[in-house]
Structure 1
Amino acid sequence: MRRIIIDCDPGHDDAIAILLALAHPDKFKIEGITTVGGNHNVDKITDNLLKLLTLVDKDIKVAKGAKSPLVCPLVTGEEAHGGTGMDGHNLSDIKFKPIAKGAVEFMKDIITEASEKITLIAIGPLTNIAMLFSTFPEVKEKVELISLMGGGINEGNKTAAAEFNIYVDPEAAKIVFDSGIPIVMSGLDVTNKAQMYYTEFKRLKGKGKVSAFVNDLLDFYSIFSRKFGYDKGSALHDPCAIAYLLNPDIFTAKKYHIDIETTGTVTRGMTVADRRKLPEGRLNANVLLDLDREAFVNMIFNALDILDTECNS
């Protein structure tokens, strides 16, 4: 069983990624979930996470993290995620509270006290993790892997060159990619292909309450998707970082050395892949490039079925 910490900014696709992890207690021991300013400010993001955990009645430690990036003001994703950061749902109840400890200290304690290595799943800007490595560099030897959603070696979405999560805090991303820890990068090269078609998510409407919640999320999220040229469905970016850990065989990947552009006028936040033939030791990221879309979508549906059954029992 893999011991994990999820660092996130829910967010529609973040919520689906977290549900995917929660549905597999046989695969993951979730040591905690940390929040970071990204899709919206960290207070709204944290409330969204607590509402999600209340929906499925999962009492998992939540630690609130960075309000803003290391250097620049926070840029949010309201254009995609709405005024709450997770519009489209009707959740209001919050049963749980975040712990008093901040995200960085919380992650440090979990990692240093663990008897085995921890996997970090990062599906928001990388501010918390960069602060962790900068403040407590000794933890790096006890991190097995970072599975992250961010970047893209061929395209951007926030700008022509940069994907949103990396664009929000490229200085943090550079610290993480330079950390020496193995990285699995679920960037736009694969996540734009990880679409749930509009005809598919409508099947969720008549099912249990978790499926109905996801249907509501995707109803809203699809408005943004259509505006940006997704004619068939919505790309579920963040769940790829979880799905890879559940079944890497449904993905195609290639190792690259990835560097982060932090100073370019039009390329700030770009994940630059070195496509030359380099020694294995220089290749710092396993970059996901393609996937079996149907297997991925079935994985999401199966997870929602599991959670629906749990909530009805």
Structure 2
Amino acid sequence: MKNIIIDTDPGVDDAVALLYALSLPKDINCLLVSLTFGNVSLRQCFCNLYTILDVAHKQGLLDGKTIPVACGQDKPLFSSETVDAAHFHGGDGLGGMHKTHAEYTPQGWEDVFSGASQPDSGKGFSILDRPADQEILHLLQSHEEDSITIVAIGPLSNVAKAAIADPQTFSRVAEVVVMGGCIDTVGNANPFAEFNTFADPEGC
């Protein structure tokens, strides 16, 4: 059983990755899903994650577990400017499904994002008060050293912020697996850059 933290900006690709990870409860223990801006805004990423986890719960993929969720960076570490991948993932990050299949968008997600409410009990996930970078450090400190893998499938802003804030605690991580960069091919953000790296190059 591998303990993982999934740091994500849920677009179509991350949705598949999340559902796949959640479908392997005997192999993967998801300690945290931390959200970052990326394919779309942090707010829209939250809506997408809420939708993904709601569907996963209804399909029985959460196996009775409660997945903790923490919101993180809404912009790069050292810039107020953001880029997105709406041209590829659609304006909502999920190919426009919130319009074409609005019945899958959970009611009240805006109130949960704003902190006005929590998800309904029994939904299979909860929203934490600590921001993502602090929650990452908390988990690394409270678990055995080298027992947690961070799977970063969005811009590295949350991961970098945690590493900068407390390098000693961050060094307790077993490994950081990154979906980012490209070798021997052109980028997908521009000819020279892969999107997750391009969205926050200093975070890398």
> TM-score w.r.t. structure 1 length?
0.53
The percent of aligned pairs where both chains have the same amino acid is 35
**Amino acid corresponding to residue 197 of structure 2 in structure 1:** I
Deviation at 1:115, TM superposition (A): 2.4
Deviation at 1:157, TM superposition (A): 1.3
Match of 2:161 in 1: 131
Deviation at 1:97, TM superposition (A): 5.0
1:1-313 aligned at under 5 Å gives the runs 1-57=1-57, 58=62, 59-72=66-79, 73-89=81-97, 90=101, 91-93=104-106, 95=119, 97-116=126-145, 117-154=147-184, 155-173=186-204
> TM-score w.r.t. structure 2 length?
0.81
Deviation at 1:88, TM superposition (A): 4.0
Aligned to 1:21, what secondary structure does the other structure show? helix
Deviation at 1:54, TM superposition (A): 0.8
**Amino acid corresponding to residue 92 of structure 1 in structure 2:** T
Change (3 A) 1:152 1:141: same
Q: Distance in 2 between matches of 1:97 and 1:76?
A: 27
- Say whether the 8 Å CA contact 1:150–1:165 is kept in structure 2: yes
1:16-58 CA distance string (max 9 Å, x none): 0001100111111100100000001101101110111111113
Aligned to 2:91, what secondary structure does the other structure show? coil
Deviation at 1:107, TM superposition (A): 0.7
Provide the aligned length of Structure 1 versus Structure 2. 173
Gaps of 5+ in 1: 174-313
Q: Distance in 2 between matches of 1:67 and 1:97?
A: 20
Q: Distance in 2 between matches of 1:128 and 1:3?
A: 18
Bigger Rg, structure 1 or 2: 1
Q: Distance in 1 between matches of 2:192 and 2:74?
A: 25
Aligned to 1:69, what secondary structure does the other structure show? coil
- Say whether the 8 Å CA contact 1:9–1:40 is kept in structure 2: yes
Deviation at 1:148, TM superposition (A): 1.1
Q: Distance in 1 between matches of 2:37 and 2:84?
A: 8
Deviation at 1:3, TM superposition (A): 0.4
Aligned to 1:152, what secondary structure does the other structure show? coil
More helix by percentage:
1
Query: Which protein has greater RCO, CA pairs closer than 8 Å, 6+ apart?
Result: 2
Greater displacement, 57-66 / 129-138: 57-66
**Amino acid corresponding to residue 193 of structure 2 in structure 1:** A
